[in-house]
Structure 1
């Protein structure tokens, strides 16, 4: 009993197989979830359990309340640049304005962006326009510090009472230092007369 007719050509089979494979592949694509369904609302996890690596991006100058308090009206441009650093943006058409922009994106922390504008009159500092949420140095370090120790942090210093309770160190006589290596004798530096 023969299932294939004698006039059927086996040359059409690879084309039929490729067509069937393409239809199955396209049918499977319709069942794939959308990218928005794969990631969480914040975009932190893919498929609900895989957390992709995010590159830390830091751009600009970190300006804190302490740095901004150090610049005073009337300072020359060079001194302002020494204190605050080079501005991120200077414009040939607006030479009296320097823009300091700071952005940071770190995994596990909220992104930060600050924009400070420094105004000059000639070569002297006229004013500084800064947002009200400029942090102190301590607050800035706390905002980017992603390391949170578990439990109580270790004690780093002794109190005065604990220092007095410590035993006094034992007195040791200084050891005589002997020369190391071969001992050499050198001729006198002055000529003999």
Structure 2
């Protein structure tokens, strides 16, 4: 027979108190996380994959162009399947936070070692591409060059003493023996 027996209400009360504490922690955590994530967004890495191919580059590739020239102009293809050696796929994908993802695909078909056809729908020019990936500037662009009038108004630099005055030795003059025998 146990010497000391707890009333049944104590374990039940302890269990209810523990459950209430856990429920309160969950409620507080959920409220804090909703509040914090609505204000602070996590950093997401920009993902850039593939080759950028522009209108100017495709203009240099015409039917009859050699395979080596295509590689020089467009770079190595993202997909060069050994089972479809006559087809090179150039795919470009960029995903940046705050902008729509961009995806483009260019297919170059060969007949032997020369270009047969190029499938390149809706490619941007180089300037359009740079504009699409550039972030807007935050403020005024700094001025990088002075006008002729501003150059004339600059103060003249101070005059430097002549080299002869600076070459006069100061302090004791030592006589050293010659390095070579006469």
The 1:9/1:104 distance shift into structure 2, 3 A limit, reads same
Q: What's the counterpart of residue 25 of structure 1?
A: 22
Structure 1 residue 19, shift from structure 2 partner: 6.3
Q: What's the counterpart of residue 64 of structure 1?
A: 54
Q: What's the counterpart of residue 106 of structure 2?
A: 116
Residue in structure 1 matching 2:67, options 74, 77, 101: 77
Q: What's the counterpart of residue 126 of structure 2?
A: 137
Pairwise mapping of residues 38-187 of structure 1 onto structure 2 (< 5 A)? 38=34, 46-47=37-38, 49-132=39-122, 134-151=123-140, 153-156=141-144, 162=148, 166=152
TM-score w.r.t. structure 2 length? 0.66
Structure 1 residue 157, shift from structure 2 partner: 5.4
Name stretches of at least 5 consecutive residues in structure 2 with no aligned partner.
157-162, 168-177
Question: For 2:152 and 2:24, how far apart are their aligned partners in 1?
Answer: 78
Residue in structure 2 matching 1:7, options 5, 8, 15: 5
Higher relative contact order structure (alpha carbons within 8 Å, sequence separation ≥ 6)? 2
Question: For 2:179 and 2:54, how far apart are their aligned partners in 1?
Answer: 64
Structure 1 residue 87, shift from structure 2 partner: 0.8
DSSP-derived class of the 1:89 partner:
coil
Structure 1 residue 99, shift from structure 2 partner: 0.8
The 1:185/1:64 distance shift into structure 2, 3 A limit, reads farther
Q: Cα deviation per residue 1:24-56 (whole Å; 9 max; x = unaligned)?
A: 4247647847x9xx49xxxxx922x11211111
TM-score w.r.t. structure 1 length? 0.63
Question: For 1:149 and 1:27, how far apart are their aligned partners in 2?
Answer: 44
- Cα RMSD over matched residues? 4.0
Please state which structure has a larger fraction of its residues in helix: 2
